[in-house]
Amino acid sequence: MNVILTCTFPQPGHELPHQILEAAGLMPARPSRRENMTPAQLHRSILKAHRIEGIRKADSSGVQVVSPGKLWQDLAVDLFLGNIENEAWGWVEPAAIHLLDFWRSFDPQIGFVLAYSSPATVLGSLLRGRPADDEEIDRVLLDWRHFNTELLRFYHANRDCCLLVNADAIDQQPQVFVEQVASKFALEKSVTWTEGKPLPQRPADTRLLQYLALPLVQNADTARSLYDELESTADLPAIESGQNSVDVWDDYARVLQSFTADLAAAKELNDTLAATVASQETRCTQLESEKSALAGRHDEQAKLAAERQAALDALAKEKAELAQAKAQLEQEKSALAGRHDEQAKLAAERRAQLEQLAQAKAANEAQHGQEIEALKRAQAQQEQDIARLTQARDQQAKLAAERQAALDALAKEKAELAQAKAQLEQEKSALAGRHDEQAKLAAERLKQINELQQQIQSRQAGEAELSARQQMMHEEMVRAEAQLDLIKDILLKEPGL
């Protein structure tokens, strides 16, 4: 990897040497990998950290040379890593005058192109288009002297890696310059001269400005002596020409031509702008009309939007009321469903109770029927026995009458129970259509059930009493039979019978 650092005085057009090298194949520097920092940004950061703002020291004793620390060395390494894929690359930086020794020690393989211009050239380019001020002229010449003194010092100390060239000579002989750089730094494969390739040019009035600035440096002996030393030392000095006046006149003619062309272009641009302005004014008028129409439509739309908004608000309010009513209905529905479930559950319980009662009633009736049959058989047997006993017959008749009365009462009670059961069945069928009366009917049914239970209990008590009476009558009959047998035995034992 080959690196070329071009350092030249900060004046308009100082990039020309580096631009010619780029045109010949030198790659421009890429930003660093980690910090994404360009060489110019790196130089500015270093000088800012060391509080260096101009070329000279505060006491104007010369250029302040900087030796950055490890942090800046790491940033320089990052910059080189960002360009490691370039076979030959470089950059141009006037501020590098403070860091030439740093870059030399950082990488001994760096090649330095040190370009300088004459004091008149520098003054002419810096004072272009404004009046000359003695104080400013002295400041520019002092900066030029210190800058190029440091340039010359570094060159003498590092001739093996430096190329000292006159910027005017580069403009006059770009091919020679490219060949010298390629030969000096072994860049024949990367940087080559191509005939006919367009190259960057200096402004057309460069030599005219240089000629006009010559009187300004007539008394600057120190600057002129330094320039002569640079020319005598340079690897590519300026070409001496005896036709300076002709060259200046040619520059003047080119400046006039350029000025005339600029005026024509400006006039054409002005005409174009005038036509554009007229078109824009017409368009503005149309836009104003459209704006008025749009304003009217906007007012209508705003009115319509307000009406729609009012309608939407009303609908939203109605929707909210409906939602509230729906929620209330849902609550009522839930409450009714809950009550309906309770009533249905209560009705199911009542039906279950009725079924249990009906089963108990059927069982009691069956038992009662059996008992009646048994009583009838007993009654027949007793009637046969009482037929022989008058007293027993009367008592039996009396008991039979009482049993018949009890049986009649039981039959009547049974009929009443059947009628009550039928009535309960009818009421049970009517429960399906009368949900609102279920509570009242359930209470009435409960009362009826209680009455039925009481009646059943009463009937059971009557049956128990009847059974007790029958048992008592049976015992009396047994005693009567025993008495009859005793009487028979006595009568049979008496003589004469």
**What is the SS3 assignment for the chain?**
CEEEEEEECCCCCCCHHHHHHHHCCCEECCCCCCCCCCHHHHHHHHHHHCCCCCCECCCCCCECCCCCCHHHHHHHHHHHHHCCCCCEEEEECHHHHHCHHHHHHHCCCCEEEEEECCHHHHHHHHCCCCCCCHHHHHHHHHHHHHHHHHHHHHHHHCHHHEEEEEHHHHHHCHHHHHHHHHHHCCCCCCCCCCCCCCCCCCCCCHHHHHHHHHHHHCCCHHHHHHHHHHHHHCCECCCCCCCHHHHHHHHHHHHHHHHHHHHHHHHHHHHHHHHHHHHHHHHHHHHHHHHHHHHHHHHHHHHHHHHHHHHHHHHHHHHHHHHHHHHHHHHHHHHHHHHHHHHHHHHHHHHHHHHHHHHHHHHHHHHHHHHHHHHHHHHHHHHHHHCCCHHHHHHHHHHHHHHHHHHHHHHHHHHHHHHHHHHHHHHHHHHHHCCCCHHHHHHHHHHHHHHHHHHHHHHHHHHHHHHHHHHHHHHHHHHHHHHHHHHHHHHHHCCCC
Does residue 226 sit in the same domain as residue 362?
no
Indicate whether 449 belongs to any domain.
Answer: yes
Tell me which of 221, 240, 259 is where a domain ends: 240
> Which CATH number is 125's domain given?
3.40.50
Q: Identify the CA nearest to 52 among candidates 97, 8, 112.
A: 97
Does residue 362 sit in the same domain as residue 235?
no
Per-residue model confidence as pLDDT tens digits over 344-354: 787 677 777 77
Q: Which domain holds residue 10?
A: 2-240
Task: Give the number of domains in the chain.
Answer: 2
Indicate whether 455 belongs to any domain.
Answer: yes
Phi, psi dihedrals of residue 230, rounded to the nearest 5°? -60, -45
The burial of 174, by beta-carbon neighbours within 10 Å (0-12 exposed, 13-18 middle, 19 or more buried), is given as: buried
Q: What is the pLDDT of residue 243?
A: 43
Residue 290: how many other CB atoms lie within 10 Å: 10
The number of residues making up the chain comes to: 497
Which residue ranges in the chain fall short of pLDDT 70?
A: 56-61, 129-130, 196-208, 210-211, 213, 240-262, 347, 375, 378-379, 382, 385-387, 389-390, 392-393, 396-397, 400, 430-436, 494-497
What pTM does this model have? 0.52
Indicate whether 156 belongs to any domain.
Answer: yes
Does residue 223 sit in the same domain as residue 346?
no
Does residue 218 sit in the same domain as residue 348?
no
Indicate whether 191 belongs to any domain.
Answer: yes
Q: What is the pLDDT of residue 400?
A: 65
d(Cα 159, Cα 138) in Å, to the nearest integer?
Answer: 31
Indicate whether 212 belongs to any domain.
Answer: yes
Tell me which of 183, 212, 240 is where a domain ends: 240
Does residue 232 sit in the same domain as residue 380?
no
Q: In what order do the strands lie in the sheet with 111-116?
A: 27-28, 88-92, 2-8, 111-116, 162-166
- Amino acid identity for residue 436 in this structure: D
Q: What is the pLDDT of residue 390?
A: 66
Does residue 214 sit in the same domain as residue 345?
no
Indicate whether 282 belongs to any domain.
Answer: no
- Amino acid identity for residue 314 in this structure: A
Does residue 346 sit in the same domain as residue 483?
yes
Does residue 209 sit in the same domain as residue 355?
no
Degrees (nearest 5) of the Cα angle 145, 147, 148?
70
Indicate whether 326 belongs to any domain.
Answer: no
Indicate whether 311 belongs to any domain.
Answer: no
Q: What is the pLDDT of residue 242?
A: 46
Does residue 349 sit in the same domain as residue 489?
yes
Does residue 344 sit in the same domain as residue 221?
no
d(Cα 143, Cα 62) in Å, to the nearest integer?
Answer: 9
Q: What is the pLDDT of residue 396?
A: 67
Tell me which of 215, 240, 265 is where a domain ends: 240
